[in-house]
Amino acid sequence: MTGNVTATGARFWPAIAIPVAAVVAASILGQIATFPNLAPWYANLLKPPFNPPNWIFGPVWSALYVLMAYAAFRIHRLAPSAERSRALALFYIQLAFNAAWSWMFFAAHSPLLGLINVVPQLVLVIATVVAFFRLDRAAGIVIAPLAFWVAFATLLNASVWWLNG
């Protein structure tokens, strides 16, 4: 079911500013934890053969963050409802897990802590996709690639933990 769009005029700017600011903050927090730990710590870990090259992660996450912000904007602009509130709560909780993962995996140098984070994160992302899709099909479709990437990240994180445990 698609909700009624109400974010016009003065309501448009908060509907776009809130998700964009949250996504940018999550991205920056993740980068602060990740970049200083790529070398030598991450570089020296054993990785599975399907591990992508490091340069892939930046463009993929940049695209996913843009898609997340756009999807959340679409939900923010809907008329307030309990379903909208639940969908946005799921979105912001999974976003917090997303930012925390970098600190748990990279900053703490712990694939196990990363795995402890990414499994519930995946569940939250899937729940967010479903909740968004029920409210606004386009928002659900736009955020769906995040679920596929986090599923891949879960497998990758588990493999790194297994290989280095």
What is the pLDDT at residue 9? 61
Domain ranges of the chain: 9-164
* Residue 87: closest CA among 45, 20, 137, 153: 137
pLDDT value, residue 14: 84
Q: What is the mean pLDDT of residues 111-135?
A: 98
The whole-model pTM stands at 0.92
Query: What was the pLDDT predicted at 13?
Result: 85
CATH topology assigned to domain 9-164: Ferritin (1.20.1260)
- Coil, strand or helix at 5: strand
97-133 CB burial, b ≥16 within 10 A, e <16: bbbbbbbbbbbeeebbbbbbbbeebbebbbbbbebbb
Give the CA distances from residue 144 to residues 9, 32, 64, 89, in Å, rounded to whole numbers and listed in that order.
Answer: 29, 26, 10, 17
* pLDDT tens per residue across span 63-72: 999 999 999 9
